[in-house]
Amino acid sequence: MLSLNNVEVIYEDVILVLKGMSLEVPDGQIVALLGANGAGKSTTLKAISGLLKPENGEVTDGDIQFQGEPIHTLPAEDVVRRGIFQVMEGRRVFEHLNVEENLIAGAYTRTDRQNVKRDLEMVYTYFPRLKERMKQSAGYLSGGEQQMLAIGRALMAKPKLVMLDEPSLGLAPLLVVEIFDIIKRINQEQGTTILLVEQNALLALDIANYAYIMENGRIVLDGEPDTLRENADVREFYLGLTEVGKRKSYRDVKHYKRRKRWLS
Amino acid sequence: MDQFLQLTLSGLTNGAVLALAALGFVLIYKASDVINFAQGEFLLVGAYVMFAVVGELGWHWTVGIVVTVLVAVALGMLLERFVLRPMIGEPIISLIMVTIGLSSLLKAVVSGIWGTDERAFPSFIPSDPINVFGATVTTDKLWAIAIAAVFLVAFNLFFRRSSSGIAMRAVADDQQAALSMGISVKKVFAMAWSISAATAAIGGIIIANILGVSGNISGVGLQVFPVVILGGLDSIPGAVLGGVIIGLLQAYTGGYVGHGLNSIIPFIVLVLILMVKPYGLFGQEIIERV
């Protein structure tokens, strides 16, 4: 459905952030994109959704195809119209609009106005808490509710592909589990394809069908979640698991760079 | 009592015009963070276009209003496309300079075409004296208030109900997030400028109907500042209420205290408001979750 081939992104004409990024998102699946801070995960999503331009970024090489058509030269509004919706990092709800108006803003590109009301109800069944706060300013919602609103806003656009940028950011563990459950339900019930960017690798691997691990602007490892979970390096660096009972010294931690055997 | 009613009514009329001008100002500020110093000239353009269509060409006043609104919309769009859009990303002070330049330019163009003499406006609104609660007032003022009210209500509905209106407010809130929603920020800016020019043009027509057509009309633009600062730079209900309050204050001070004071009073209010409520009566404070 979506494929990135050797994509290179440069900010401000000098800062090379993506260095030959390739990725495949098949129809109807949940694909996770994992990686440390600064690996280029958010840049990847912005390159897809056309949001690089306001930040002075540009795709300089490679191509991004959605349903067989190149989209990396399209402005953001056309990408949304084609069915790709990005839920930005840090929720970014419209603070001075109330909950319902936020959802209506999400449906901006829809042409079938008469169905918008029905979809509002659909969002409210996924997130009953939003219904209770329908008329409240989004700025005064709790962090979890704002994340729900951000996801609900994406649903209102009826996208084929939703890209979620760190939905767990700054939320309590229990809430994160709840949100991930809903993401999974949306994928199954609405058939929406999901590209999930996460720091919380454990949870992301739980719901994903396939996962990519990114470092330094390119993919270094990919596979089924089960295979990745078994990988010693993933276990150590992303899941924080070591062999039980073994002492860890600072020396071992310092080996971090050397131990990353997939790095070029 | 009679005088009080008279003053209230002319205050409301003035207030309605101020509210229309301020509404446009707030719109532009809300959508694009630009402080538009040329707002007064939009009133001027509106008044003169109406004068040209009805007074010079002799067409019916309904046609006049339609043509004026269309011209204003086109003017707003052109200004946004060719003057403001190239300025995106420039420092705010440059933008302010550009709008100040625009104001001089528009004023010059208008006086270049129609000259600087004061002309009589073809009064299309009947100004028969009628009796309201024992006070004699002219109907043109009542009409002015009614016209302004209709437009203000319509715009309020537009912002609350229509998806374009909500999109405009979304852009005002968070441009990048709006972009990610597929909202075209360029389109929203163009819309803000054209609606703003149109409301101001309506205000210009109303004020020209009462005062006659002359270059002085653009002076109303200066009074827009106390109005929007009183109401809150980014609040539409604030612009309306601010307009009415300033209009009434001016009328009362003019009537009861003395005529010289009424043009100063808005600025005294402005200073007081800034001391007590820096965001204005309804201005958006920065929401901070605790």
| Coil, helix or strand at residue A123 | helix
| Coil, helix or strand at residue B263 | helix
pLDDT at B198: 92
Residue A147 CA to residue A26 CA, distance in Å, equals 25
If we measure between CA atoms, which residue out of B125, B130, B142 comes closest to residue B10? Answer: B142
| A112 falls within a domain | yes
Residue A99 has pLDDT above 50, yes or no: yes
Q: How confident is the model at residue A251 (pLDDT cuts 50, 70, 90)?
A: low
Q: Residue A34 corresponds to which tokens in the numbers above? A: 């994992």
CB A62 within 8 A of CB A6: yes
Strand order in the sheet with A161-165: A84-87, A161-165, A193-198, A30-35, A210-215, A218-223
Beta bridge partners of A16: A10
| A28 falls within a domain | yes
CB A73 within 8 A of CB A21: no
Mark yes or no for CB contact A109/B182 under 8 Å: yes
Q: Which domain holds residue A171?
A: 2-230
Beta bridge partners of A87: A164
CB A18 within 8 A of CB A44: yes
| A253 falls within a domain | no
Residue A207 has pLDDT above 90, yes or no: yes
Q: Which are the contacts of A155, defined by CB distance < 8 A and separation ≥ 6? A: A106, A119, A122, A123, A126, A162, A186, A190, A192
Residue A44 has pLDDT above 80, yes or no: yes
From first to last of the 290 residues of chain B, give the pLDDT tens digit: 678 888 888 888 888 888 888 888 888 888 888 889 999 999 999 999 999 998 888 888 889 989 999 999 999 999 999 998 888 777 888 888 999 999 999 999 998 998 888 888 877 777 778 777 777 777 878 888 888 888 888 888 888 888 889 998 898 888 889 999 999 988 999 999 999 999 899 888 888 888 888 888 888 888 888 888 888 887 888 888 889 999 998 889 888 887 778 778 888 888 888 888 878 777 766 666 65
CA–CA min distance A242, chain B (Å)? 38
Its ipTM equals: 0.85
| A19 falls within a domain | yes
Residue A260 φ/ψ, nearest 5 degrees = -70, 85
| A177 falls within a domain | yes
Contacts of A76 in chain B (CB under 8 A): 179-180, 182
- The CB-side HSE value for A74 (13 A sphere, CA atoms) comes to 22
What's the pLDDT tens digit per position in B272-281? Answer: 888 888 787 7
Residue B196 CA to residue B28 CA, distance in Å, equals 7
CB A92 within 8 A of CB A150: yes
Place of tokens 């009953």: A128
Q: B2-115+132-276: what fold?
A: ABC transporter involved in vitamin B12 uptake, BtuC (1.10.3470)
Q: Residue B11 corresponds to which tokens in the numbers above? A: 């205050």
Residue A146 CA to residue B140 CA, distance in Å, equals 50
Mark yes or no for CB contact A92/B181 under 8 Å: no
Residue A183 CA to residue A167 CA, distance in Å, equals 10
Which CATH number does the domain housing residue A105 bear?
Answer: 3.40.50.300
If we measure between CA atoms, which residue out of A135, A126, A256 comes closest to residue A190? Answer: A126
Q: Which are the contacts of B115, defined by CB distance < 8 A and separation ≥ 6? A: none
| A39 falls within a domain | yes
- Number of structural domains chain A divides into: 1
CA–CA min distance A246, chain B (Å)? 42
CA–CA min distance B90, chain A (Å)? 14
CB B282 within 8 A of CB B232: yes
* B64 to A20, A195, B19, B67, B71: CA distances (angstroms): 61, 55, 22, 5, 10
Q: Residue B67 corresponds to which tokens in the numbers above? A: 């043509």
If we measure between CA atoms, which residue out of B103, B104, B82, B84 comes closest to residue B92? Answer: B84
Residue B41 CA to residue B48 CA, distance in Å, equals 10
If we measure between CA atoms, which residue out of A194, A185, A235 comes closest to residue A33? Answer: A194
Which helix (H) or strand (E) segment is B170 a member of? Answer: helix B163-173
The beta strands (E) that lie in B115-179 are given as 129-132, 135-138
CA–CA min distance A43, chain B (Å)? 14
Parallel, antiparallel, or unpaired for β A218-223 and A210-215? antiparallel
What's the pLDDT tens digit per position in A117-167? Answer: 999 999 999 999 999 999 999 999 999 999 999 999 999 999 999 999 999
H-state helical runs in chain A: 41-49, 76-81, 99-106, 116-126, 128-132, 143-156, 173-190, 201-207, 225-230, 232-237, 250-254, 256-259
| A264 falls within a domain | no
Buried b / exposed e over A86-96, threshold 16 CB at 10 Å, is: bbbbebbbbbb
**Letter for the amino acid at B129?**
P
**Interface residues on A facing B, Cβ-Cβ cutoff 8 A:** 49, 51, 54, 76-77, 79-81, 85-86, 88, 92-97, 101-102, 104-109, 113, 137, 139-140, 142-143, 153, 157
Q: Residue B255 corresponds to which tokens in the numbers above? A: 């009537």
**Interface residues on B facing A, Cβ-Cβ cutoff 8 A:** 163, 166-167, 169-170, 172-184, 284, 287, 289
Residue A253 has pLDDT above 70, yes or no: no
3-state SS, one letter per residue, for B229-241: HHHCCCCHHHHHH
The stretch A15-26 carries a mean pLDDT of 93
What's the pLDDT tens digit per position in B166-208? Answer: 998 898 888 889 999 999 988 999 999 999 999 899 888 888 8
Residue B58 φ/ψ, nearest 5 degrees = 75, 25
